Structure 1
Amino acid sequence: MATILAVVAAAPGSPATAAPPAGEHRGTLTGGATWLGHIPARWNGTVLLFAHGFGPLRPQDAPSEQARELLLAEGYAMVGSSYSGPTMWALETALPDQRAALRAFEEVLGTPPRRTIAIGRSMGGLVSARQAHDPRGGIDGVLTTCGIVAGGLNLNNYQLDGLHALTELLAPGRDIPLVRYRDAAQAAQAAADIVALTTEAHATPDGRARIALAAALFNLSGDHFRAMTAGGALNRYVTGRQQIELSAGGNSAYNRGVDYRALLASSAHAAGVRALYREAGLDLRADLDRLTATADVTADPWAVADLRRSSMVAGPLRVPHLTMHTLVDELVPVEHVDWYGEHARHRPGMLRSVYVNATGHCVFQPAEDVAALHMLEHRLDHGRWPDLTGTGRFVRFNPPRLVGGLGEPGRL
């Protein structure tokens, strides 16, 4: 049972059917997580259960302040939990915390919602995607935005491939740990070292070619990878891994036995890599063989089992699920959508994806968040998906395959 910290009470003598108290509400759950909710002046009967992304464990109930204002104006009530963690990779506790936050919020509402829609951002997209497959129900539909829908095992593996390429080809013989960090400080130092050697390598044709190869393993082009290195995403690849390892109790990623020729061959960016290698006069085949020969990271079975249970989607899709992604996302590549669409068990018409012509992680405009929500509601109301293509920045797009994903070439 939640402890409600701030509630705008109904007037004395109000009937049990009175409108729920408009405004902001907060509470604390028995597991230690906190929750935040907002109720509009005129509730339309729908609750949005929002799952926030990787970062500090603070409650959020909307993608942004601007999106919240738009949604409140349309009559939506919304709630989200902080997650109880204890790490920022909070997949162990996020689902029960979200369910508990919803129950607490429903007590404040005083009447059952007509409809509940789960919305997840980034890591929260994985939380909400798992809700779409959860047999316990309680959710009518799911919208994931820039979500890690291919799951934690895939995320850790392809990022390991890219980091292996950077360190082995740009700093051979240098001991920069890529997995099994003893603490956050060691991970931060490893991240700083990798960012520094990558930044330095940008200055030479050889370096740019090898960075492009690593970028392809990260499911990015070389140009986008350079921009995201400056923006801090490369640092987050390393420091985020330490948080995932802490949550899982070990390392879930492996590259021993991985065929790096096969990985590059499966990449949509392979042609650009080959062109840069030719311009630099480098032997691409030799570098790929070197990566294969020096790949020696093995996974801890218990960590793999933990992430397979907590951080991968499993079972059939039980409610309509809409994914929204930008065409280029440096932290959660759009290739996640392709892997999820191919591997998730779903009936025809249950899963749909929309794409925004933009570059960056979760850089959606508030109106795009609302438009995607309306698209999902149309499917719930009428049994068919409308087409947003050509509306604003929404475009038709076929995402490439996820390089280094489970079951994909090079990691069978």
Structure 2
Amino acid sequence: MRPLLRCALALALGLLLPAASLLAAPPTAPHMLSGELQGAPWRLDVPADWNGDLVMLAHGYEPVGVPRTTPMTANDSTATLLSAGYAVAQSAYASQGWAVADAITDMERLRQHALGELKRVRHTWLLGFSMGGAVTLASLERFPQHYTGGVSLCGANLSGEQIAADLLTTLVAFDYFFPNAAGLPATGLASHEAAVLPQGVLYQGIADALQRNPQHADVLAKRLQVAPDALAGTISLHTLVLHELATRSGGMPAGNLGVVYSGFGDDAAFNAGVQRIAPVPAALADVRAKLALSGALKRPLVVQFNNNDPTIVPHMQAVYPQMAAQAGARPLPHVLPPVGEGHCGFSEAQVVDALKAIQR
């Protein structure tokens, strides 16, 4: 997990500034407004040579408890987007963690506020990184009338139900290959005992277990499509996010009672021995309702990933384009070739290029 890149940005808390609307006349100097809308800090930056287009920038995962400063810190890509002529509005969201549901609401509220400040906007675009990719897709599906198009970069382009199921697979597979690992609860990574472990303790216990049995670690890395040296970080992140989803939804939002697994070596032994977990029905219903994606796009969408991303791995990357095709989306998402390395490893020029690709 790269805590200070676009995917996990510590955004800051601002106070609502006096109304200073950016009126129709072209600005003669850069402007920045910031404030708070129903618990969500926000900022709006407008360049001196504003081209009339607004980018609604959805940041990625921010761990619970990361300090926020005043005014909120701009996303890494803000300066480059401003240099390219775009106004940029961004919300810190009302809550931290896997805050997709809050973020969808907060971004729509901020969009309305930004239009009141800017007065004349030619086009409004969505641009999301990592978790913000899911925010971008959900916002495009729910509010197509408000956007010209969207871009998802290194995006977690999955419904809440599917991402919970993927994360649960990671946890029960680790427990199968590394039972009773020192420093970790005997009840497994999906248990309440694991949920309350400090993240550093959780990571170290996972890393130590992987080191003690490289053969099993290699099987797990290949099945999860993660490089061996990134495996401990991926498993600890998956544990953290699944338990956050459980906290938000009121219980375990995924289960594996009827799942037949493959790709874990001796699949018969794996399916016979892997821990089976039932979802909490109300929690499953909650993520289905609040974190749903249908694929039924009505606006252009550009999607781009990085090479060797340990967080959004290849099988996750293929999900939304397939969903959109099945839903008859028009137009279909345009998937650009992968660039850069790691999670959200884009250069600033590549971010602007992806935005310009959707305009073309």
CA offsets per residue over residues 132-178 of structure 1, 9 Å max, x none?
21146311101001111122322222232232222212226971432
Q: Which residue is 1:368 aligned to?
A: 350
Q: Is the 8 A contact 1:142 1:322 kept in 2?
A: yes
Q: Which residue is 1:75 aligned to?
A: 85
Q: Which residue is 1:179 aligned to?
A: 190
Pairing of 1:255-334 with structure 2 (within 5 A) = 255-260=256-261, 263-264=262-263, 284-285=265-266, 288-314=268-294, 316-334=296-314
Q: Distance in 1 between matches of 2:75 and 2:124?
A: 17
Please point out which of 46, 61, 74 is paired with 1:54.
61
CA offsets per residue over residues 342-394 of structure 1, 9 Å max, x none?
1232435431101224331111111111111110011xxxxxxxxxxxxxxxx
Q: Which residue is 1:141 aligned to?
A: 149
Aligned-pair CA distance for 1:215: 2.2
Say whether residues 1:337 and 2:317 are aligned partners: yes
Q: Distance in 1 between matches of 2:285 and 2:248?
A: 12
Q: Distance in 1 between matches of 2:344 and 2:75?
A: 9
Aligned-pair CA distance for 1:71: 1.6
Q: Is the 8 A contact 2:295 2:329 kept in 1?
A: no
Say whether residues 1:244 and 2:226 are aligned partners: no
Greater Rg by CA? 1
Letter in 1 for 2:229: A
Q: Which residue is 2:211 aligned to?
A: 199
Q: Is the 8 A contact 1:258 1:292 kept in 2?
A: no
Q: Is the 8 A contact 1:50 1:60 kept in 2?
A: no
Q: Distance in 2 between matches of 1:320 and 1:246?
A: 34
Q: Distance in 1 between matches of 2:168 and 2:15?
A: 42
Aligned-pair CA distance for 1:22: 2.7
Say whether residues 1:89 and 2:69 are aligned partners: no
Q: Distance in 1 between matches of 2:85 and 2:146?
A: 20
Q: Distance in 1 between matches of 2:61 and 2:315?
A: 19
CA offsets per residue over residues 210-230 of structure 1, 9 Å max, x none?
22332244233xxx1x22136
Please point out which of 331, 338, 341 is paired with 1:359.
341
Residues 1:68 and 1:136: Cα distance change in structure 2 (over 3 Å): closer
Residues 1:244 and 1:3: Cα distance change in structure 2 (over 3 Å): same
Q: Distance in 2 between matches of 1:62 and 1:348?
A: 33
Q: Distance in 2 between matches of 1:136 and 1:377?
A: 16
CA offsets per residue over residues 305-345 of structure 1, 9 Å max, x none?
11112223126211101111013211111322311111232
Aligned length: 335
Pairing of 1:29-178 with structure 2 (within 5 A) = 29=37, 31-56=38-63, 63-64=75-76, 67-85=77-95, 87-109=96-118, 111-135=119-143, 137-171=145-179, 175-178=186-189
Aligned-pair CA distance for 1:9: 6.9
Relative to the length of structure 2, the TM-score reads 0.83
Relative to the length of structure 1, the TM-score reads 0.74
Taking every aligned residue pair, what percent have the same amino acid on both sides?
24
Q: Is the 8 A contact 1:51 1:60 kept in 2?
A: no
DSSP 3-state at the match of 2:292: coil
Aligned-pair CA distance for 1:201: 2.0
Q: Distance in 1 between matches of 2:348 and 2:275?
A: 43
Letter in 2 for 1:179: A
Q: Which residue is 1:277 aligned to?
A: none
Q: Distance in 2 between matches of 1:24 and 1:306?
A: 37
CA offsets per residue over residues 72-112 of structure 1, 9 Å max, x none?
12210000111112x41112211111011122222222x23
Q: Distance in 2 between matches of 1:25 and 1:243?
A: 32
RMSD: 2.7
Q: Is the 8 A contact 1:40 1:72 kept in 2?
A: yes
DSSP 3-state at the match of 1:322: strand
Say whether residues 1:219 and 2:221 are aligned partners: no
Q: Which residue is 2:4 aligned to?
A: none
Say whether residues 1:17 and 2:18 are aligned partners: no
Q: Is the 8 A contact 2:187 2:193 kept in 1?
A: no
CA offsets per residue over residues 186-234 of structure 1, 9 Å max, x none?
36455443232113223xxxxx2x22332244233xxx1x22136x333
